[in-house]
Structure 1
Amino acid sequence: MTISLRHARVRYGPLEALHGVTLAAPAPGLTVLLGRNGSGRTTVLRALAGAVPLSGGAVVWDGTDVTRVPAHERARRGLCLVPERQAVFGSLTVRENLELTTPAYDRALEAYPPLESLLPRRAGTLSGGEQRMLALSRALLSRARVLLVDEPVQGMSPAVATRTYELLAASEACVVVAEQRLPPVLRDRPALVYELRRGAVVFSGEARELRASASGAGSASAEEDRSGRWSGSRPSG
């Protein structure tokens, strides 16, 4: 199974955010979209989910053009988008958030044991990292066929961030995540990487190829990766 963009263009008013982007994410597998703020990585996720319309190009899922399929129908077919913000229901408790996905949420507590003590708390009172744990656990419980996650480990401790990527990499779904720089835990994993800059793809390949390319071409995102300055509590983008 693959979900892809083909020569996709997205406009926000007079500004074009994606300039003919082509990329494909296979399943099972982990695909990472890298780029600084304004690079277009979040827009790619939203375009795949149907949250923003294309002004050109196509979204193809399992060989079928779904460009005109609305977001709620893509969700019904098994696509789950976890946005960077407002990914949980703040007025509901942690338990109620989990029960919206399934009454049997034991797997969520196995994935993120700290959630157990937070079950009676309102989700809106949790820290940023705790909310990301809750949002990711709900997404994993949903058994989505395609899982799109913007800044999955924002606000998490390095240990919990590593655990999160281990869970995502072990998923049988097509998993696409957006990050500012390549997480160290993925350096030696067979993750597919696309680097975006100003709405265009400037690199595609395996993580180790990105690092090799950076040593010769000076890729900004990979330079940050080589310096090791990555943690779950970095700024969003």
Structure 2
Amino acid sequence: MSRGLELRAARVRYGPLEALHGVSLIAPCPGLTVLLGRNGSGRTTALRALAGSVPVSGGAIVWDGADVTRLPAHERARRGLCLVPDRRAVFGSLTVGENLELAHARGDFTAALSAYPELRPLLTRRAGTLSGGEQRMLAVSRALLSQARVVLVDEPTQGMSPAVASRTYDLLAGLDAGVVVAEQRLPPGLRGRAGRAVVVYELRRGEVVFAGEAAEVPAADRPGPAG
């Protein structure tokens, strides 16, 4: 039996427009998979299709060898899939502490504060008042607390400092789960990462144009120098 989450020739339509044109990919579980692409490439749609938050008009979604194409998003979540969207990923009207309590079955969020000590002085703040980077820390820490079998994250490090972004990828790569992230460019540090290989798919206009390991990503898709 395959241990992973797959799109098999998946097609997704938004009204008359087709956003994915028969995309196939395999995200190993456990393992880290990166979906690369510019805005409009289909990377976010692929992530949502895996989560079940958008339906596929063709093809299939397979999880650990079982067809889950018709399984609704809440059932996939119940089976251990966690989606962190790029927007509205936290409960803005709740405090940081309340957000974290809800993410863990027993309300224990000690691990989140160990991962992101920056959140400790913010525990009584409403999540909606946090900066973009702070909200991403909170959203990712909620995913870490969920102990999910599969974690899907759209632009996990948006708004974070380089040091916190690097730590975030260390945390995600260290999970005993299938982790799939959507990014515009390959994050620094993943190319030469020791240990488990990082799988990369690049999407362009709804199609996969590259599939391989992080070390094989074409130079044009590597992060450039800051400037």
Confirm or deny a common fold (TM above 0.5).
yes
Aligned position for 1:5: 7
- Matched AA of 1:97: N
Offset at residue 227 of structure 1 (A): 2.5
Pairing partner for 2:213 from 206, 213, 216: 206
Query: What pairs up with 1:156-171 in 2 under 5 angstroms?
Result: 156-171=160-175
Aligned position for 1:173: 177
CA distance in 2, matches of 1:44, 1:21: 8
Q: Do the aligned partners of residues 226 and 107 (structure 1) sit closer, same or farther apart at CA in structure 2, a change above 3 Å counting?
A: closer
Offset at residue 228 of structure 1 (A): 3.4
**Is the contact made by 2:186 and 2:223 (CA closer than 8 Å) also made in structure 1?**
no
Q: Percent identity?
A: 74
CA distance in 2, matches of 1:133, 1:121: 14
1:50 pairs with 2:47: no
Q: CA RMSD in A?
A: 1.1
Query: What pairs up with 1:30-49 in 2 under 5 angstroms?
Result: 30-49=32-51
**Is the contact made by 2:187 and 2:223 (CA closer than 8 Å) also made in structure 1?**
no
Superposed CA deviations along residues 108-145 of structure 1, whole A, max 9, x for unmatched, are 00000010000000000000000000000000000000
Q: Do the aligned partners of residues 155 and 199 (structure 1) sit closer, same or farther apart at CA in structure 2, a change above 3 Å counting?
A: same
Number of positions where the alignment pairs a residue of Structure 1 with one of Structure 2: 220
CA distance in 2, matches of 1:41, 1:91: 29
1:143 pairs with 2:147: yes
**Is the contact made by 2:185 and 2:221 (CA closer than 8 Å) also made in structure 1?**
yes
CA distance in 2, matches of 1:165, 1:101: 20
- Matched AA of 1:162: S
Q: Higher helix proportion, which one?
A: 1
Aligned position for 2:122: 118
Pairing partner for 2:157 from 150, 153, 156: 153
Superposed CA deviations along residues 38-71 of structure 1, whole A, max 9, x for unmatched, are 0000000000000000000000000000000000
TM-score, normalised by the number of residues in structure 1: 0.91
1:194 pairs with 2:201: yes
TM-score, normalised by the number of residues in structure 2: 0.95
Offset at residue 224 of structure 1 (A): 4.7
